Amino acid sequence: MYRPRVIPCLLLENEELIKTQQFSDPVYIGDAMNAVKIFNDAEADEIVFLDINATVNSSPFNFDLISRIADEAYMPVAVGGGINSLEKVREAFKAGAEKVIINSAFHSNPGLISEAAEVFGSQAIVVSIDVKKVGSDYLVYCNRGQEEVQRTLSECLKLAEVKGAGEIMLNHIDSDGMQNGYDEKLISFVSSRLSIPLIMCGGAEDYEDLRIAVDSGASAAAAGSLFVFMGGRNSIMINYPDREEMTEIFGKDE
């Protein structure tokens, strides 16, 4: 049995690490380079950095910071935020990223996924999809959750696959930073419609939730608050399950 990936998902605002709740109210949590060093020591499977202002403010992605992060990181680095052209995809890989995450640009220009996958390979291209639950439906949003997408979730998933995405990263806006558990129904709904891996993000309260995400159909479990806060008062303390804890969560590798 191959153990599912466990992925810290960290948000960048300028060069600072921040954490949000439901994509709002950012709180400063520390230095990006220091976090990378700690996750190196913890032997994290992979790490995601998302520049939360790059798309909304049309600001340039901080490729210099990504280059410094990639030089320091022992694990694969995936980056996203404001990457809306093949040139920016190329710059991200040149800076040392191993995967590029595309969100808003996927909705406005799905052809970018095809172009990027053809040049760099599907395995390096991740489509990120943000959803909110409205009534009994899950609606898709972009631009940091501010703009509703005029496609259904199922249509977005199919389009991403057809265009050549190697993975889907699903962000549950309602659960972001709330530490109220993953939405198992949402994970099951999405994974049943995909033939490519699903990374689930949003809501993890404890390490047990990582197993729940995988049992519900995710290929990998990502989280922010879980890996940067500790205790009932959410003291800032970067953490990650060690090998023994991974075995307790997922069982022994075979």
Instruction: Say if residue 144 is exposed, middle or buried (CB neighbours under 10 Å; 0-12, 13-18, 19+).
Output: buried
Q: What per-residue confidence (pLDDT) applies to 14? A: 81
Which of 130, 174, 183, 209 is an active site residue? 130
Q: Under the phi-then-psi rule, with left for phi > 0, alpha for psi from -120 to 50, and beta for the rest, what region is 68?
A: alpha
Q: pLDDT tens digits, residue range 193-246?
A: 999 999 999 999 999 999 999 999 999 999 999 999 987 777 899 999 999 999
Q: What per-residue confidence (pLDDT) applies to 54? A: 80
Q: What per-residue confidence (pLDDT) applies to 58? A: 67
Q: pLDDT tens digits, residue range 22-50?
A: 999 999 999 999 999 999 999 999 999 99
Cα distances from 7 to residues 10, 109, 146, 220, in angstroms, run 9, 27, 25, 7
Q: pLDDT tens digits, residue range 54-101?
A: 877 767 678 899 999 999 999 999 999 999 999 999 999 999 999 999
Q: Are the beta carbons of 112 and 106 closer than 8 angstroms?
A: yes
Q: Are the beta carbons of 97 and 79 closer than 8 angstroms?
A: yes
Q: pLDDT tens digits, residue range 103-113?
A: 999 999 999 99
- Distance between CA 139 and CA 164 in Å, rounded? 22
1 pLDDT exceeds 80? no
Looking at 6-20, 162-176, 230-244, which range is the least confident one?
A: 230-244
Among this protein's residues, is 130 annotated catalytic?
Answer: yes
